[in-house]
């Protein structure tokens, strides 16, 4: 739960963001976008990417909550900071990284992208539209709704596409080119790649198992003032949404109030205090399980009940014995089921990892025991024929005995 508390504290007070540039001009050409980040309560620190005084951690603590890379041409970071330091910032400190690339993406960008499963096209490659214009338009936002909504207006950009090495539950593409776009390398005799249309990935997002977030965009121009401030273009909405997600202003979940107990005549659902955990069940018991899940709203800085039909609980002993999707009542997810007739030590396990949302992993232990000797049914319906045969034998013996003792031959 520590990361949840940290996320909440950061979201309320804003994030400290280190912005690394390869030219001071970017601070002016992207001023509108940077102003938006500051309006969200974030504190931006601008540095040249190759300056000697760059530090991202001190005494085992991160100095920033996010790093924004707008320095595609830089080969190495200053201050003895390396790609491994950026990966440690992501893995150890759960920091967010936003990377804006361009056609001159250098070794630093390529190494970092490779570690997240992305691979830029060769140096000199760029995306063109059907008229061979370097500024392309697209409305193909492929991200889940929680990351970025479908584009109502065309998004303008120029830059370099990249490959996703492997499709995993950790990574999703967020933006692809329009159907008539293509990729060409101007440095290699106008070599034209076979990729076209939706095969050309221009944006993607990765969320680690520690819920740290990484956003990669193949265009540095996508958030510049010229496109960002134009109401006829969809750049502003896309840049704001993708940044809000990366900075954990949305798509952040937390859970509490895990409850499970035996349902009986005296313990009906809702009558037991929230947070009560039954430790032992008997086979065939009726079991109640519930968990509260909330979603953070970055606009109001509050937690609101989460809504989803995809949350489920597994009742596991080595393998899941029971899987039940949870009903939702204003953020209270609950279900009832009958304990399996296999005794052992089980776990109630909720594993929620929908793309775009922080993961929920929780396990609560409980044991299931067999019936005690005095809990078995005394008279079983299936045994009635045997009971009848016993009593008929007794009656027959009594009748025969009476006849044998009192019958006289005449």
User: Quick one: pLDDT at residue 157?
Assistant: 93
H/E element holding 174? Answer: strand 171-176
Q: Output 403 or 307, whichever has higher pLDDT.
A: 307
pLDDT at 254 over 70: yes
Q: Which residues contact 317 (CB under 8 A, 6 or more apart)?
A: 342, 344, 345, 346, 347, 368
* All structural domains of the chain: 2-246 (3.40.50), 253-369 (2.60.40.1930)
Q: Contacts for 195-200 with beta carbons within 8 Å, 24 or more apart?
A: 195/161, 198/140, 198/142, 200/127, 200/161, 200/176
pLDDT at 298 over 90: no
Distance CA 393, CA 391 (A): 5
- Total residue count of the chain as it appears in this document: 410
Distance CA 150, CA 152 (A): 6
pLDDT averaged over the chain?
A: 89
Tokens of 295: 């979603």
Q: What is the 8-class DSSP label of residue 87?
A: H
User: Quick one: pLDDT at residue 6?
Assistant: 45
pTM comes to 0.84
pLDDT at 2 over 50: no
Min mean pLDDT across 33-42, 166-175, 262-271, 400-409 is at 262-271
Distance CA 126, CA 161 (A): 7
pLDDT at 12 over 50: no
3-state SS record for 27-45:
HHHCHHHHHHHHHCCCEEE
Distance CA 366, CA 282 (A): 11
Tokens 């697209």 -> residue: 138
Distance CA 181, CA 126 (A): 10
Distance CA 285, CA 318 (A): 20
The pLDDT of 258-284, averaged and rounded, is 85
Tokens 């775009």 -> residue: 356
Q: What is the pLDDT of residues 365-391, one digit of tens each?
A: 999 999 888 777 777 788 888 889 999
Q: Which of 208, 246, 245, 237 is nearest to 91 (CA)?
A: 208
User: Quick one: pLDDT at residue 45?
Assistant: 94
User: Quick one: pLDDT at residue 3?
Assistant: 44
The pLDDT of 94-109, averaged and rounded, is 92
pLDDT at 289 over 50: yes
pLDDT at 108 over 60: yes
Q: How confident is the model at residue 195 (pLDDT cuts 50, 70, 90)?
A: confident
| Residue 396 DSSP SS3 | helix
Question: What is the percent of the chain where pLDDT is above 90?
Answer: 65
């Amino acid at each position: 739960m520590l990361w949840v508390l940290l996320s909440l504290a950061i979201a309320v007070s804003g994030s400290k963001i280190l912005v690394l540039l390869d030219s001071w001009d970017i601070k002016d050409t992207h001023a509108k976008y940077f102003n938006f980040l500051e309006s969200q309560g974030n504190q931006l620190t601008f540095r040249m990417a190759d300056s000697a005084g760059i530090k991202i951690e001190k005494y085992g603590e991160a100095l920033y909550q996010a790093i924004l890379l707008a320095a595609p041409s830089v080969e190495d970071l200053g201050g003895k900071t390396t790609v491994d330091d950026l990966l440690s910032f992501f893995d150890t400190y759960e920091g967010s990284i936003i990377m804006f690339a361009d056609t001159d993406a250098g070794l630093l960008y390529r190494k970092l992208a490779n570690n997240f499963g992305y691979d830029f096209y060769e140096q000199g490659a760029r995306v063109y539209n059907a008229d061979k214009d370097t500024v392309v338009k697209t409305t193909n936002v492929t991200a889940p709704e929680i990351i970025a909504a479908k584009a109502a207006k065309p998004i303008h950009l120029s830059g370099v596409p990249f490959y996703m090495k492997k499709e995993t539950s950790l990574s999703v593409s967020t933006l692809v080119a329009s159907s008539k776009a293509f990729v060409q390398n101007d440095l290699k005799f106008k070599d034209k790649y076979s990729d076209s249309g939706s095969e050309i990935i221009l944006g993607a997002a990765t969320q680690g198992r520690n819920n740290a977030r990484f956003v990669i965009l193949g265009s540095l121009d996508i958030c510049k003032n010229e496109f960002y401030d134009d109401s006829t273009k969809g750049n502003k909405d896309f840049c704001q949404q993708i940044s809000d997600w990366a900075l954990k202003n949305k798509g952040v979940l937390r859970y509490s109030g895990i409850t499970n107990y035996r349902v009986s005549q005296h313990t009906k659902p809702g009558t037991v205090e929230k947070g009560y955990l039954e430790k032992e069940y008997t086979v065939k018991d009726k079991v109640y399980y519930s968990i509260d899940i909330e979603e953070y709203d970055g606009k109001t800085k509050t937690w609101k009940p989460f809504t989803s039909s995809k949350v489920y609980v597994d009742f596991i002993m080595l393998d899941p014995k029971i899987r039940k999707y949870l009903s939702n009542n204003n953020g209270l997810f609950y279900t009832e089921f009958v304990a399996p007739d296999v005794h052992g030590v089980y776990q109630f396990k909720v594993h929620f990892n929908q793309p775009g949302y922080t993961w929920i992993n929780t396990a609560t232990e409980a044991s299931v025991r067999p019936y005690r000797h005095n809990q078995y049914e005394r008279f079983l319906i299936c045994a009635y024929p045997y009971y009848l045969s016993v009593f008929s034998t007794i009656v027959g013996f009594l009748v025969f005995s009476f006849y044998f003792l009192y019958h006289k031959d005449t």
